Structure 1
Amino acid sequence: MNKQVSYWNPYLEVLPRERLEALQLKKFKRILTWAYSNSRFHRALYQQAGMHPEDINSWEDIRRVPKVEKAMMKPIQRKDPFPYGDALCVDLDDVCVFRQTSGTTGQPIYQADTWQDWEWWTECWATLLWAQGYRPHDRVFLPFGYNVFVAFWAAHYASEKIGCETVPGGVLDTKSRILKIQELQATAMMATPTYVLGMADTARNQLHIDPATLPITKITCAGEPGALIPSTKQRIEEIWGSKVFDHAGATEIGAWGFECSCQPGALHVNEAMFLAEVEDLETGELLTETGQKGKLVITALDRFAQPCVRFDAKDIVEIGDEQCECGRTYKLFKGGVIGRADDITKVKGVLLAPSAIEDVVRSIQGLGNEYEVIVDKKGDTDTITLKVELTEEAANSSTKELQGELTTQLRLKTNLGYNLEILPPNSLPRYEVKARRFKDLRKKGI
């Protein structure tokens, strides 16, 4: 049986901008009307703002629609219809999939999906995997512990949908996962950048296997920034001898962004299924020019059980060039998700993005994959402590040159000085899902 299915959509993915934007406006009005008509939460929000869906007839009108933040979802859940509460737009009997956010930013949010919504999730992932070169001949290994967090559930079903042989590695430990990849000759896998690097350390140091000798040719990363940070991408690709692709999404939103096989150093927004706006961090003004950085506000255009309409994702993105070599007309975000608005902070009067520190650490040979940043205040003065690990190869060497290079590059890339702690290998915590390397103790009043 021929199971070849194409997920290159020559109609949607190369639509002229004016036709694509007309489609987005039509879909936006549809999901807005649906949310107003069926969600107690959305209807109250819009009525309080003096807005009705019939008032939205142009792109300029969209800016009148109130935004939704994760904090607004917490008090409306855990009540009837339990556990989703006031944002649910369908009968509870129609909900067939439960997921929740990872909880890394506080109380998790419950996400309801109908079977139609889950098919939409899978379609989003099938689109991005096809764009990254996944084909039916691939054997895809998922080294991930499946649970109530959405993680790579949709990736699993999308891999099956496009015809790949899909191998779940959820209950295995890291060593067993590496050995299973070797045994089955898996050609692709998906995980967070942190875990991909952690797997490489385990392969080399515990199993004495060079990751580059394994048959993996494609790695899709998600869950945290990293796969589009140049030094991190380069490090992963060199260690594994594989192409590394980035993806962006969230439980409340869906799989909205992907890097294609051309590796343009940017994410395509899947604009047939999402409407992405970029706002100035301070003024809230809509940004449209190449090179401008701002906060992502996003709408999932085809998700109905628990709609995502003008959701403040708090992801920081930079508007990229008009078009990629691949021919897609979709909007590009250069460097992917640069960081979180919650993490972009002023230290000694300088705006600091944690991704800039990662780019420096991962670019220096002799430093391991893990690091930790602690921002604190002593009296009226901000302090930054950066803890880094040595590699096994550098553990017995002098750290003077490494420390000097690290100090220079940090000053050059971030305009700040750091208290450096260079530690032996395996001194810092390891993460399988989202890493928590940046700690701002000032926000906790310590």
Structure 2
Amino acid sequence: MSFPDRAALETEQLAQLNRLLTALVPSNVFYAPKLSAVGLSEGAGSLAEFYEKLPLTTKQQIVDDQRANGPYGTNLTYPIERYTRFCQTSGTSGFTLRWLDTTESWEWMVGSWREVFRAAEVEAHDRIFYAFSFGPFLGFWTAFAAGERLGCLCLPGGGMSSAARLKTILENRVTTLCCTPTYAIRLGEVALEQGIDLASSAVRRIIVAGEPGAGIPATRARIEQLWPGARLWDHHGMTEVGPVSVECPVRPGVLHILESRYLAEVLDPETLQPVAPGQRGELVLTNLGRTGSPLLRYRTGDLVQPSPEAVCACGRCELALEGGILGRTDDMVVVRGVNLYPSAIEAVLRRFDDVGEYRVTLTTINALLEAIVDLEPLPTCTEPEALRLTVEAALRSTFHLRLPTQLVPCGTLPRSEMKAQRWVRT
């Protein structure tokens, strides 16, 4: 497969950007005044001019707009009658964002998901199982529609237990599984409990999204161990932005931003200046084709590390993110002076095959934040106490911090097909 060079890509990006900007000015109440104020109402002469002139958009600005102008806010380019699709976020950060799309914007996002499937080598003869209860979250629906457009047999997994989903996957000779990393592990554990040999399944690829995991080598190895013969493919997106990235076919754990559809910047979260390749920063996105409800220079909160190579080994010049999504700017906690990210804890715990599930409880003791790790071993673990001691030692060695680790009975901690909620505060 051939890919455009950087100059050709940026020329096309600028053309798409200017079509978008001129579409917003007549009637998008949220963005039209901002564009006019900085002299971009008739478009930008260059991508550099756009980045220099237009201020960043934050999630709080979108939240404030929807609170003040409920239920959908003012970031709508067309009359409400033009909109045909409704989605919303999970509300885990305290406020549920509602998002509307026109038919054209929806098809643009479905096209992005088709790129995800193409990168994972999904073809018309494949059978895709979607292990989700289909709620109002964008990713389920766009992925399902993309599978249909490719001509695949698409099997919805809503309203099923894990055992029923496994049965459906096996009986229908499913070749492609879509789920979260956590739920891929859960299905593998249920298969072990029921004596099901997943090596005999037809699943050859597992496409995951919704949370970090596939970019963590230990988590990736765990999933591929539970699903012999299947390769894990990472992807990420957001309800308010759309499907954003595809995994590199030759460098597992590296995500490519679909820059034919997005403008991508990586900025220092504090200075808001571009970071150098190889340095960590916050991903900022502009979606170029979601005209009905776009976001321009949106601070996603996702921490990423751009690859230093201008052209990837796969031939893409699109932005490559080493390790995928590394965490979020609002996820970090400071425990006795040590910065802790959930993905870093996950990377340690998933090195141990006998760890079934875990939870980190944050509590304040004598004005200091403390973290306690609840560890649930698999039923097959023969020496739980030895596992606890080994895990606690590994955490101390990695973070130079004692994180008390305690065992909980098998089946105690909740499992979810959605984003796992493993960090709680008391």
Which of the five TM-score ranges fits, normalised by the shorter chain?
Answer: over 0.9
RMSD over equivalenced CA pairs, Å: 2.0
Equivalenced residue count is 423
* 1:111-150 equivalence runs, <5 A: 111-150=99-138
1:170 aligns with 2:158: yes
**Separation (CA, whole Å) in 1 of partners of 2:245 and 2:10:** 17
SS in 2 for 1:136: coil
Question: Which residue does 1:296 correspond to in 2?
Answer: 283
1:316 aligns with 2:303: yes
Contact 1:291 1:318 in 2 (8 A): yes
**Which of 149, 160, 165 does residue 161 from structure 1 map onto?**
149
**Which of 406, 411, 414 does residue 421 from structure 1 map onto?**
406
**Which of 209, 213, 220 does residue 226 from structure 1 map onto?**
213
Structure 1, 344-353 or 315-324: larger mean CA deviation: 344-353
1:208 aligns with 2:187: no
**Which of 262, 266, 270 does residue 250 from structure 2 map onto?**
262
Question: Which residue does 1:405 correspond to in 2?
Answer: 390
**Which of 73, 81, 85 does residue 62 from structure 2 map onto?**
73
* 1:6-405 equivalence runs, <5 A: 10=2, 14-46=3-35, 50-54=38-42, 56-61=44-49, 62-77=51-66, 83-205=71-193, 207-241=194-228, 242-287=230-275, 289-322=276-309, 323-368=311-356, 370-394=357-381, 396-400=382-386, 402-405=387-390
**Separation (CA, whole Å) in 2 of partners of 1:226 and 1:214:** 23
Contact 2:241 2:287 in 1 (8 A): yes
Percent identity (aligned): 35
List 4+ stretches of structure 1 deviating above 3 A.
44-47, 49-56
Q: 1:162 to 1:68 in 2, by over 3 A?
A: same
* TM-score, length of structure 1 as denominator length: 0.90
Q: 1:297 to 1:398 in 2, by over 3 A?
A: closer
- Any gaps of 5 or more consecutive residues in structure 2? none
Structure 1, 419-428 or 374-383: larger mean CA deviation: 374-383
One-letter amino acid of the structure 2 residue matched with residue 223 of structure 1: G
One-letter amino acid of the structure 2 residue matched with residue 34 of structure 1: A
**Separation (CA, whole Å) in 2 of partners of 1:266 and 1:96:** 34
**Separation (CA, whole Å) in 1 of partners of 2:253 and 2:259:** 18
**Separation (CA, whole Å) in 2 of partners of 1:431 and 1:25:** 41
- Any gaps of 5 or more consecutive residues in structure 1? 1-7
Structure 1, 298-307 or 194-203: larger mean CA deviation: 194-203
One-letter amino acid of the structure 1 residue matched with residue 187 of structure 2: M
Superposed displacement of residue 170, structure 1:
1.5
One-letter amino acid of the structure 2 residue matched with residue 178 of structure 1: L
Contact 1:29 1:53 in 2 (8 A): no
SS in 2 for 1:337: coil
Structure 1, 341-350 or 278-287: larger mean CA deviation: 341-350
* TM-score, length of structure 2 as denominator length: 0.94
Superposed displacement of residue 347, structure 1:
2.5
SS in 2 for 1:386: strand
